[in-house]
Chains A and B, each alone.
Chain A
């Protein structure tokens, strides 16, 4: 302990306190990242299957995120699609009908039937992970919001 004190003391005396703070922060950052990258606590146990993965790639290739949101993240020209799969009066047929429609700002896409199925599979998966907007929220006096999750363990 004395040696440690001497070691850190001499570092601090040499003006290296900043390096010590930096190293501490970087170490905490590494641990934090490791947890974020490896934890699946709240994760839907089912992984994206091949059709949903293809749908995800189609979503990216066509920049659907430019106009649409998922969990409120994305563009603002179109509606949020987190729960489009399960909203009453919408769902798979509604999604498929919209895809090549070119209505309003929606570009006139030319998706094949298989591609439409893949996009629907991706949106179905997203829908299974949670709610957005989440109307089952409990507001706390501390400013915290408790949200109802799907698949809560």
Chain B
């Protein structure tokens, strides 16, 4: 392989995944034992490590996959090899900078983007470089683009916009008005997730089209209808986060109307694809297929949950409870991570088609991953119901007592999290080994 930058992104992404789940596990221990690591790295410092690292996994894996697909499989000549290297170095150095600032306790940002706002500048620069390289590389007429080119392009542009929007609080005009400030903050987060979903779902559609060897289905009216529905959701469907904030009611009406159509979009596409695949195609890319099938299951589970809590009367009881966490874990692990693991299995199979995998080992971990995630998810739903009950029907019970009553639930949460970490680590190590071999030039892949 001449250009290995895409693989570098993927290796760092997998490393981030391993680190991120480790931080998550350590943070969850603090729910069981409040003194655990409290003196060294209390929960308020541990959580940003976990969140930043797992978000990096999603974003870096999507970027690496896109670079790989457009150069190695679509055979486009990258507009600039230098830009992709600069992009990688900028992101890597910024990541190191963020970790250093976290270790030093310099966290001046907000939830999900806890690092000092100044570090957003190189992150934005990286996205702009990626955008330039992407759009300059995809030189064909826009009207001929398959839907995944649109999705990736949209994801890049909206990532840049919403990353800026998430930092509008640095301006006094926003910061001084609390309701506007918190609304814009959560608007940007909702759309930020929508933007990375564009990158991840575009990747899912690409991998599906390649496995099926059918480009036609990525240009038809139906997929474009769903793409635009997803985009509408990204733009206007964020307000279910803020139903209970005293914002203007019309904002909430819009969000309620648009609701959570995004999940139906992906669910429909994956379901139709699975139905149309032949046995040979399923067997050829066995693990990639399995993970995309798992993503379909998680889309289905999350559709039910998301559609339910997009109804304000239900949202009233679920908002601010662990049910919201179940939704975010269900989507980031169940949907995003399974799609990205499918993408990585697809990529590594293209790099090393003769690699002797141990199917039973991978399959075993695939099942451990899905079963433990389901139990992890169910535990959060249960904890959410208990918390909601406390909030609305046991007002006089102190918060600490409610937390103590959830202690066993938190232990179960930790145990299922541990199983999840075990399976993700096992799968990631297999993928990392293959990627490292490719980086060292042990595979003759162009």
Instruction: State whether B144 touches A147 (Cβ < 8 A).
Output: no
Q: A60-B108, A144-B256 are in contact. Are A130 and B245 (CB under 8 A)?
A: yes
Q: How far is the CA of A43 from the CA of B184 in the complex (A)?
A: 13
Output the least CB separation between B174 and chain A (Å).
8
Q: How far is the CA of A93 from the CA of B251 in the complex (A)?
A: 37
Q: A32-B236, A56-B175, A66-B44 are in contact. Are A61 and B182 (CB under 8 A)?
A: no
Q: Which one of A16, A36, A139 has the highest number of Cβ atoms from chain B below 10 Å of its Cβ?
A: A36
Within A103-144, which residues are at the interface with B (CB < 8 Å)? 104-105, 107, 125-126, 129-130, 132-135, 137, 139-140, 143-144
Instruction: State whether A67 touches B319 (Cβ < 8 A).
Output: no
Q: How far is the CA of A146 from the CA of B114 in the complex (A)?
A: 33
Instruction: State whether A61 touches B34 (Cβ < 8 A).
Output: no
Q: How far is the CA of A76 from the CA of B176 in the complex (A)?
A: 26
Cβ-closest chain A residue relative to B144: A15
Q: Which of A32, A125, A132 contacts B244 (CB 8 A)?
A: A132
Q: A48-B176, A63-B45 are in contact. Are A145 and B110 (CB under 8 A)?
A: no
Output the least CB separation between B109 and chain A (Å).
7
Q: Which of A18, A36, A47, A62 contacts B44 (CB 8 A)?
A: A62
A8 adjacent to chain B (CB < 8 Å): no
Residues 79-95 of chain A, each 1 if its beta carbon lies under 8 Å from chain B, else 0: 11000000000000000
Instruction: State whether B248 touches A77 (Cβ < 8 A).
Output: no
Instruction: State whether A61 touches B108 (Cβ < 8 A).
Output: yes
Output the least CB separation between A120 and chain B (Å).
15
CB < 8 Å A-B pair total:
166
What residues of B have a CB within 8 angstroms of the CB of A14 in the complex?
143
Q: Which one of A53, A73, A133 has the highest number of Cβ atoms from chain B below 10 Å of its Cβ?
A: A73
B391 adjacent to chain A (CB < 8 Å): yes
Cβ-closest chain A residue relative to B387: A76
Output the least CB separation between A74 and chain B (Å).
6
Q: How far is the CA of A27 from the CA of B322 in the complex (A)?
A: 36
B247 adjacent to chain A (CB < 8 Å): yes
Q: A36-B184, A105-B30 are in contact. Are A48 and B391 (CB under 8 A)?
A: no
Q: How many residues of B contact A (CB 8 A)?
A: 66
B152 adjacent to chain A (CB < 8 Å): no
A44 adjacent to chain B (CB < 8 Å): yes
Output the least CB separation between B360 and chain A (Å).
38
Output the least CB separation between B258 and chain A (Å).
11
What residues of A have a CB within 8 angstroms of the CB of B387 in the complex?
76
Instruction: State whether A42 touches B42 (Cβ < 8 A).
Output: no
Instruction: State whether B241 touches A40 (Cβ < 8 A).
Output: no
Cβ-closest chain A residue relative to B228: A21
Instruction: State whether B244 touches A36 (Cβ < 8 A).
Output: no
Output the least CB separation between B223 and chain A (Å).
11
* Chain A: interface size category: 35 or more
What residues of B have a CB within 8 angstroms of the CB of A99 in the complex?
none
Q: Which one of B142, B186, B245 has the highest number of Cβ atoms from chain A below 10 Å of its Cβ?
A: B245
Q: How far is the CA of A75 from the CA of B322 in the complex (A)?
A: 10
B428 adjacent to chain A (CB < 8 Å): no
Q: Which of B174, B186, B248 contacts A73 (CB 8 A)?
A: B186
B316 adjacent to chain A (CB < 8 Å): yes
B180 adjacent to chain A (CB < 8 Å): yes
Q: A61-B108, A65-B110, A72-B319 are in contact. Are A18 and B224 (CB under 8 A)?
A: yes
Output the least CB separation between B12 and chain A (Å).
25
Q: Which one of A48, A57, A74, A133 has the highest number of Cβ atoms from chain B below 10 Å of its Cβ?
A: A133
Cβ-closest chain A residue relative to B319: A72
Instruction: State whether B312 touches A145 (Cβ < 8 A).
Output: yes
Q: A60-B108, A70-B182, A104-B34 are in contact. List 6 more A-B contacts (CB 8 A).
A: A16-B142, A43-B180, A44-B178, A67-B47, A74-B111, A147-B244
The 4 A-B residue pairs with the shortest CB-CB distance, nearest first, are A72-B320, A15-B143, A107-B42, A66-B44
Instruction: Provide a sorted-by-A list of 29 A–B residue pairs whose CB atoms are within 8 angstroms.
Output: A14-B143, A15-B143, A18-B224, A25-B235, A28-B235, A36-B180, A36-B251, A37-B180, A43-B179, A48-B175, A48-B176, A61-B107, A61-B108, A64-B44, A65-B111, A73-B182, A74-B111, A77-B31, A104-B400, A105-B30, A129-B179, A130-B179, A133-B320, A134-B244, A139-B313, A144-B256, A144-B312, A145-B312, A150-B246
